[in-house]
Amino acid sequence: MHKSRLGAIVIDCRSDDIDREAAFWTEALGLSLAPGSDDRYRALVGPDDEVKVLLQKVEHESRVHLDIESDDIAAEVARLEKLGAKPVGEVKRWVVMEAPSGHRFCVVRPQRKDFAARARAWNDA
């Protein structure tokens, strides 16, 4: 058995100024910017019970993708493959996947504190 859930909405920004993009999205969504950042990521802060919103500086075209949190990435990838998704790459500690519709998404380790209590359990049989 493993668990998973929608973990984050990631706003991929093809931009030379991630801080400018973060300023727009914090105002547009009524969120604040989390302290601490690096050259590539900005986290927005909202209510604990809402999906996390991240900004990511990218080289590809700007788009939005989903992160699915899982306590067993390999099991979640296998479950999603049975539904028709396909892995397209591994980056650091996560797997980039493509849905049958062509949408890209990532399977990542748990990101939020309430994962264990709020994620759905899947039977791996």
Q: What confidence score (pLDDT) does residue 125 get? A: 65
pLDDT tens digits along 58-89? 999 999 999 999 999 999 999 999 999 999 99
- Share the mean pLDDT of the chain: 93
DSSP assignment of 41-95, as one string? EEEEE--TTSPEEEEEE-SS--EEEEEEEES-HHHHHHHHHHTT-EEEEEETTEE
Q: Which domains does the chain have, with CATH numbers?
A: 2-122 (3.10.180.10)
Low-confidence ranges of the chain (pLDDT < 50): none
Q: What confidence score (pLDDT) does residue 38 get? A: 85
